[in-house]
Chain A
Amino acid sequence: MSPIELTIWQTIGAFFTIAIFSFLYKDNPLYKIAESIVVGVAAGYFTVLLFWTSLKPKFWDQIITHRDGVLVIDKWWYIIPGILGLLMYFHFSSKFAWISRYPLCLYIGIGSGIAIPLSLQTFVLRQVEATMLPVSLYPLEAQSINNLLIVLMVVAALIYFFFSMEHKGVVGKTATFGIWVIMVGFGASFGYTVMARVSLLIGRIQFLLVDWLHWVK
């Protein structure tokens, strides 16, 4: 990209950056224009992206391939999900809308079947495994205390979510400790999110002052 072309594109980027920042003053036409453009551009971009990176290689190229310059049908069974995908359009027919349930149910069935072992493996077993870290008492190290604290805090937080027992006595006190842990976690996550947003803001200001205007080196 030539320097002039880069400047033109950066000016366009700066215009839209300022247009979005103008919302801080109040809702205005400049902001709405930028908003409308991003809606259209995003829909168009992701449609094109999905078409060329998913639909073509996973559907079209699986069914039809080039062999010695001749088009041949390869994995014919890939036509089936295509047909099922088309069946979804029966959703618009009041009489045959029930047909659109078939592809939807296949989708939900496969998705649920995969989710059962996968969510247990990823979200339960791996998390439990990562929580149960070794604790060395002789010599007692800071890392060991932290590992023990993590186990206690995870158990307490889980007890807070466990409603099959009344939160009274020891269970109630553990649940209270659990909610405290969760609140510290929420606070930390919130603080982390704020920092991420502020760093994005700094990035945009840097784009305007350093990349575009060259006011700051």
Chain B
Amino acid sequence: MKRRIPMLIVSITGILMTIQYFIPHPWSEAMYNNALDWLVIIGIFAMPLGIYSMIRIQVLKIQRRSRGWGYAVISLISLFAMLGLGYTQECLESGTFFMKIFEFIYIPIQATMFSLLAFYIASAAYRAFRARNILATIVLAGAIIVMLGRIPIGEAISPFLPDLAAWIMTVPNMAAQRAIMIGLGLGAASTAMKIVLGIERSYMGME
């Protein structure tokens, strides 16, 4: 009841969803679409768990007057302000106060945070790419050629550099990405098979 039924659910639904892929029939397609909707609905019901967890952590910080508890107050105010402003579906239309907060607060902060990585990535690159062995040297050479090939100074250094950068992107880079993707696909399919067949049970807290 506590373990066998959940595992049966995994196996039956897993086999059904695998088989339906090979049956080009309206019923099969309807089942697939319904299953996708069900996944979305179940997933969304998990969302309040995340919000509850976030609120709980912030409230605990405030109650205990932990270091930086004032920032927890700011987070909670921002959260409830957004939830309050989003009480109608119209809030998602362009030009509403809700969307302006998203456009002029969320997007600038997010974009600036990502752009900060431009600074930190340089120091990370220095530590990672110091040509200590042949492999590190290859990574370093690949990165330098691609970077130089995409800026005007690259063409000034050598007119072949942009073409070489383009060749690296379309031949060795694509080949490496393809090999990784093929490995990823085989790994994902075999892990899914193990789950459906009941070999992999770690999602239930079992070895």
Q: Taking beta carbons and an 8 Å cutoff, which residues of A are in contact with B? A: 1, 9-10, 12-14, 16-17, 19-21, 23-24, 32-45, 47-56, 58-59, 62, 77-78, 80-82, 84-86, 88-89, 91, 98, 101-120, 122-124, 127-128, 130-131, 146, 149-150, 153-154, 157-158, 160-161, 178-195, 197-198, 200-201, 203-204, 207
Considering the complex, give the chain A residue whose CB is closest to the CB of B35: A110
Whether B5 contacts A44 by the Cβ 8 Å rule is: no
Contact with B18, one of A40, A113, A194 (Cβ below 8 angstroms): A113
Contact with B81, one of A19, A44, A82, A188 (Cβ below 8 angstroms): A44
Verify if B156 is at the interface (C-beta below 8 Å from A): no
Bound-state CA distance A23–B109 (Å) is 12
Whether A153 contacts B175 by the Cβ 8 Å rule is: yes
Whether A20 contacts B175 by the Cβ 8 Å rule is: no
Considering the complex, give the chain A residue whose CB is closest to the CB of B91: A48
Whether B6 contacts A110 by the Cβ 8 Å rule is: no
Bound-state CA distance A130–B185 (Å) is 15
Render B165-183 as a binary contact track against A, CB cut-off 8 A, 1 for contact. 0011111111111111111
Bound-state CA distance A90–B113 (Å) is 37
Whether A88 contacts B45 by the Cβ 8 Å rule is: yes
Whether B37 contacts A58 by the Cβ 8 Å rule is: yes
Using A48-B83, A127-B182, A154-B179 as known contacts, say yes or no to A188 and B143 having CB atoms under 8 A apart.
yes
Whether B171 contacts A149 by the Cβ 8 Å rule is: yes
Contact with B179, one of A51, A52, A158, A180 (Cβ below 8 angstroms): A158
Q: List 17 additional A-B contacts (Cβ < 8 Å) besides A13-B107, A116-B189, A195-B147.
A: A9-B103, A39-B75, A39-B78, A45-B102, A53-B92, A80-B38, A103-B45, A107-B39, A114-B17, A130-B178, A146-B170, A149-B175, A181-B176, A184-B139, A184-B173, A197-B115, A204-B111
Whether A43 contacts B139 by the Cβ 8 Å rule is: no
Q: Which B165-207 residues sit within 8 Å CB-CB of chain A?
A: 167-186, 188-189, 192-193, 195-196, 203-204
- B residues near A131, Cβ cutoff 8 Å: 175, 178
Whether A124 contacts B186 by the Cβ 8 Å rule is: yes
Whether B168 contacts A86 by the Cβ 8 Å rule is: no
Contact with B42, one of A43, A106, A181 (Cβ below 8 angstroms): A106
Give the Cβ gap from A96 to chain B, nearest Cβ, in Å: 10
Give the Cβ gap from A129 to chain B, nearest Cβ, in Å: 11
- A residues near B76, Cβ cutoff 8 Å: 40
Whether B68 contacts A81 by the Cβ 8 Å rule is: no
Jot down 10 A-B pairs with beta carbons below 8 A, ordered by A.
A20-B112, A21-B116, A38-B109, A58-B37, A81-B38, A82-B45, A101-B6, A109-B195, A188-B169, A195-B150
